[in-house]
Amino acid sequence: MNNNVKLICFYGPESTGKSTMAKQMAAYYQTEFVPEVAREIVSSNDFSLDDIVRIAKAQNERVKEKMKTANRFLFCDTDLITTQIYCRHYLKTVPSILYEFEKEIKYDQYFLFDIDVPWVADGLRDLGTNRIEMFQTFEMELSNRKICYQLVTGTWGDREKAITKRLDMLF
């Protein structure tokens, strides 16, 4: 992997703008982004533990691949903690291999996206009524791991400004 590239994780519950922001920031910084690979593998929330393991492996492989061509930053709109959260939510268990996959990639900066934007259904999202609970779960997982993060709130412009300011200041 390219050690000069900083790994940036856009993290948080569904429908908070992570995917759109990852594309936007990649364009702004003229670099790469890694989409949520789960959306390429499953088309509903009816999935198996085998599907989850395939998703986790593919997500890490995509990050490693994009690191080779990224410039300065690589923006990722999910991580393995997220995969664990949704696995636990839908399947009530997390295969231990997901914790091993999590250790393979360390992010240089986490941005936790707040739920202060409208929830938008898209056929896969189904937790619109659980937004507060899911946000708290995402935040708790970072705290449990002692991972520092910046909370991203406000309008689209506010979010973009906060992210670019933080990245330019840190790196």
Give the chain's domains with CATH numbers: 6-170 (3.40.50.300)
Sheet holding 6-11, edge to edge: 32-34, 73-76, 6-11, 109-113, 149-152
What digits encode the pLDDT tens for the residues 77-134? 999 999 999 899 889 999 999 999 999 999 999 999 999 987 666 655 555 567 899 9
Is 117:53 a contact under the CB 8 Å cutoff?
no
User: What single-letter DSSP state applies at residue 11?
Assistant: E
Q: Any idea of the CA torsion for 66, 44, 18, 67, to the nearest 10 degrees?
A: -10
Report whether pLDDT(3) > 80. no
- Across the range 31-50, mean pLDDT stands at 81
The answer, as to whether pTM is greater than 0.85, is yes
Share of the chain above pLDDT 90, in %: 74
